[in-house]
Structure 1
Amino acid sequence: MRVLITGAGRLGTQIARVLSAARNDVTLVEHDEDRVAQLGDLPRVRVVTGDACDPELLEHAGVLACDLVVAATGCDEDNLVISLLAKRRFDVARVAARVNEAENAWLFDQRWGVDVAVPAATPLVSLIEEATGATDTVALLRLSKAGVEVMETAITEESRAAGRQLGEIVLPPGTVVATVVRDGRPTVPHPEVRLLPGDELLLVSHEATEQEVHAAFQ
């Protein structure tokens, strides 16, 4: 899923971390250059500096290819303008907007292009669930807060793990296989499962890097 998030405050950056960990294509837009400079490392997140209320900036950020826009700035007026542009001008399929001031909640509806309006008091987990329409992000969020990295690797014809049983693979320390996805269906990762080209593995680790996980299977 391609996601564009506007506002790189605590909320926007947390959403970006969780959705990028779930292997979504994430772009984060922030107008404050100082805040952008303080973001630090956001793996797999593209950061664009500029005003998300500017249609040209949104287009430059890739809104035309997005499946989801999350307006998460600290200003309700900006979130409404961003939502309206995303829905009416760029025809984004799903638009979620954060409502900062309760008295403005009545504005956040289809008239302004908002599919999902999320009050400020809503927990982050619920916001992400409602915005994406997914429930498995809850587990991802909890893992990320606990300092556990969620990673994915795919088995190809060239992978040295192809044809081998899962139990034969030496994993990096602190790493476990959460599931093996085959033909679009998750399966229990028993040690006897023989890995086949096309399999996708979801792993969690609190120590290993993506490079170490890649080396174990590829």
Structure 2
Amino acid sequence: MKVLIAGAGRLGTQIAHVLSAARNDVTLLEHDDDRVAELGGLPHVRVVAGDACDPALLEHAGVLACDLVIAATGRDEDNLVISLLAKRQFGVGRVAARVNDTENAWLFDQQWGVDVAVPAATPLISLIEEATGATDTVALLRLSKAGVEVIETAITGESRAAGHTLGEIVLPAGTVVATVVRDGRPTVPHPGVRLLPGDELLLVSHEATEQEIHAAFQ
């Protein structure tokens, strides 16, 4: 799923992190250049600088190809404009918007292009579940909130794990394989699965670093 998130504050950044970890194509828009610089190393997320209320910027950021737009700025007026542009001008299929001031909640409806209006006090888990219309990201969010890292690694022809079964791989302590994606399809990671070049693994760990996990497979 292609997702565009407007607003790289705490909320927008957390949503971007969770959705990208769930293998979605995520673009994050932010008008503050200093904040954009801080986010330069955000893994698997494209960060674009500029005002998300600008139609030209939205188009440049790829809104025409997006399945979901999330307006998560701290200003209700901006979230309404972004939602309206996404739905009416660019025809985005699903638009979610954060309501910062409860007195403005009545504005956040389909007339303004909003499919899902989420009050600021709504738990982040619920926001993501409602915005995406799916539940597969919720487990990842619960893991991240519990201090568990979600890490990806890919098997190549040079990987020492290629040709071996999962049961033969010695994983770092506190690490489990959540799924093996082969030919675009997730498979159950039982010990007998033999790893092949092109396989992508999603692992969760509460102790190991990303480097330690990659080392176990590469």
Q: Same fold (TM over 0.5)?
A: yes
How far 1:46 moved relative to its partner? 1.7
How far 1:161 moved relative to its partner? 3.3
Return closer, same or farther for 1:69/1:194 CA change in 2, 3 Å cut-off. Answer: same
Deviates more, 1:3-12 or 1:205-214: 205-214
Matched, 1:120 2:120: yes
Matched, 1:13 2:2: no
Query: For 1:191, what is the secondary structure of its paired residue?
Result: coil
Query: For 1:11, what is the secondary structure of its paired residue?
Result: helix
Return closer, same or farther for 1:193/1:5 CA change in 2, 3 Å cut-off. Answer: same
Matched, 1:151 2:127: no
Return closer, same or farther for 1:207/1:94 CA change in 2, 3 Å cut-off. Answer: same
Q: How many residues align?
A: 217
Amino acid at match of 1:150: V
How far 1:140 moved relative to its partner? 0.8
* Aligned pairs (5 A) from 1:1-218: 1-39=1-39, 41-155=41-155, 160-181=160-181, 184=185, 186-187=187-188, 189-196=189-196, 199-218=199-218
Return closer, same or farther for 1:36/1:195 CA change in 2, 3 Å cut-off. Answer: closer
How far 1:215 moved relative to its partner? 4.4
1:133-179 CA-to-partner distances (Å, cap 9, x unmatched) read 11121211122123322123455666543442211112244422123
How far 1:56 moved relative to its partner? 0.7
Give the Cα–Cα distance (whole angstroms) in 2 for the partners of residues 80 and 205 of structure 1.
38
RMSD of the alignment, in Å?
A: 2.4
How far 1:186 moved relative to its partner? 3.8
Query: For 2:170, what is the secondary structure of its paired residue?
Result: coil
Query: For 1:14, what is the secondary structure of its paired residue?
Result: helix
Give the Cα–Cα distance (whole angstroms) in 1 for the partners of residues 48 and 96 of structure 2.
19
1:27-78 CA-to-partner distances (Å, cap 9, x unmatched) read 1111122333444742122221111100011111121221111000111111
Deviates more, 1:162-171 or 1:126-135: 162-171
Amino acid at match of 1:94: R
Amino acid at match of 2:84: L
Deviates more, 1:169-178 or 1:95-104: 169-178
Query: For 1:213, what is the secondary structure of its paired residue?
Result: helix
Return closer, same or farther for 1:32/1:199 CA change in 2, 3 Å cut-off. Answer: closer
Return closer, same or farther for 1:56/1:40 CA change in 2, 3 Å cut-off. Answer: closer
> Unaligned regions of 5+ residues in structure 1, if any?
none
Amino acid at match of 2:105: A
Query: For 1:47, what is the secondary structure of its paired residue?
Result: strand
Q: CA contact under 8 A between 2:26 and 2:46: conserved in structure 1?
A: yes
How far 1:97 moved relative to its partner? 0.5
- % identical aligned pairs: 86
How far 1:191 moved relative to its partner? 2.3
Give the Cα–Cα distance (whole angstroms) in 2 for the partners of residues 214 and 139 of structure 1.
23
How far 1:11 moved relative to its partner? 0.9
Return closer, same or farther for 1:201/1:40 CA change in 2, 3 Å cut-off. Answer: closer
Give the Cα–Cα distance (whole angstroms) in 1 for the partners of residues 180 and 26 of structure 2.
24
